[in-house]
Copies of this chain bind each other. A is one copy, B any other.
Amino acid sequence: MENYSDAPIGVFDSGLGGLTVMREIMRCLPDENIIYFGDTARVPYGSKSRDTIIHYVEQILHYLEEQEVKAIVVACGTASAYALEAVRHKVSVPILGVVRPGVRAAAAITKNGKIGVIGTEASVKSGLYESLLHKINPELKVCSVACPLFVPLVEEGLWRDEITTLVAKRYLTSLKEAGVDTLIMGCTHYPLLEETIREVMGSEVRLVNIGVETAKVLSRILSERGITKKTLDAPPVYRFSSSDAPEKLCRFGEYALSMTIPEAVRISIEDY
């Protein structure tokens, strides 16, 4: 296909947390065009069932394929854990989630073999982190904790707040007590709480930002397939869309991406 390499990368999340993954892709692959979709009309996914999450992800994949993306990043811990394997065969472009890159990084980093995982209720319930970590090394001790209030706290902008610190202490104490030396932040909202999480866990615990790891894997996939962007004289184009309240995406995106988002388009995702 002509100019196929110049096609955008599609990045989506249940809401706005995936913008932290987009940020890492922009840093790692600064020339690439990106289209972001946030399913803000149906956020959060973390408290929903597997079937519902798969159904929602299928609709988003139809939308992104219509936009002729060359690769798709599932920038949502819950959707990666629940839906990725179920939908992988349905798309014709490379698709990757945030779970496997995060898992591989954590397994490489840990020294004492004790890894913590935090995520939404659904992500933790899926058991995917444990099973992938144990595939790499059956000796690893994995301790997982669901943190259902972190997403609403982030979406409310309480990134540094005594309420958030209190909630973080509640969720993270058992991980500290378990002596984990590596903690996978298994939800793309969590990098916005990184300072608080670091404060509670202590600076000796290594935090794995799944967005950073995913951007590295994406970069490798694009080069291996020879589809990194070829036309480098034009600046990258970033497009934003969401299923509800695009102005909220613009506002949130300014913080998450440290750039002005002049426009976001509203998409009727149910029609896909």
A interface, CB within 8 angstroms of B:
40-43, 47-49, 52, 148-149, 152-153, 155-156, 162-163, 166-167, 170, 243-245, 248, 270
The minimal Cβ–Cβ distance linking A20 to chain B, given in whole angstroms, is: 19
CA distance A248 to B46 in the complex (A): 13
The minimal Cβ–Cβ distance linking A193 to chain B, given in whole angstroms, is: 14
Closest residue of B by beta carbon distance from A166: B163
CA distance A17 to B4 in the complex (A): 49
The answer to whether B166 touches A156 (Cβ under 8 A) is: no
The answer to whether B170 touches A163 (Cβ under 8 A) is: yes
CA distance A207 to B40 in the complex (A): 32
Other 7 A-B pairs with CB < 8 A, given A52-B243, A166-B166: A41-B42, A41-B48, A43-B47, A47-B248, A149-B152, A149-B163, A270-B270
Closest residue of B by beta carbon distance from A156: B148
CA distance A48 to B270 in the complex (A): 15
CA distance A41 to B140 in the complex (A): 35
CA distance A162 to B156 in the complex (A): 19
Complex copy number for this chain: 2
The answer to whether A152 touches B148 (Cβ under 8 A) is: yes
The answer to whether B49 touches A244 (Cβ under 8 A) is: yes
**Which of B52, B149, B153 is the one whose CB lies under 8 Å from A244?**
B52
The minimal Cβ–Cβ distance linking A62 to chain B, given in whole angstroms, is: 14
CA distance A260 to B194 in the complex (A): 41
* Residues in B neighbouring A152, C-beta threshold 8 A: 148-149, 152
The minimal Cβ–Cβ distance linking A135 to chain B, given in whole angstroms, is: 29
Closest residue of B by beta carbon distance from A243: B52
Closest residue of B by beta carbon distance from A248: B47
**Which of B41, B49, B162, B170 is the one whose CB lies under 8 Å from A52?**
B41
* Residues in B neighbouring A167, C-beta threshold 8 A: 163
Closest residue of B by beta carbon distance from A41: B52
**Which of B48, B153, B162 is the one whose CB lies under 8 Å from A166?**
B162
* Residues in B neighbouring A52, C-beta threshold 8 A: 41, 243-245
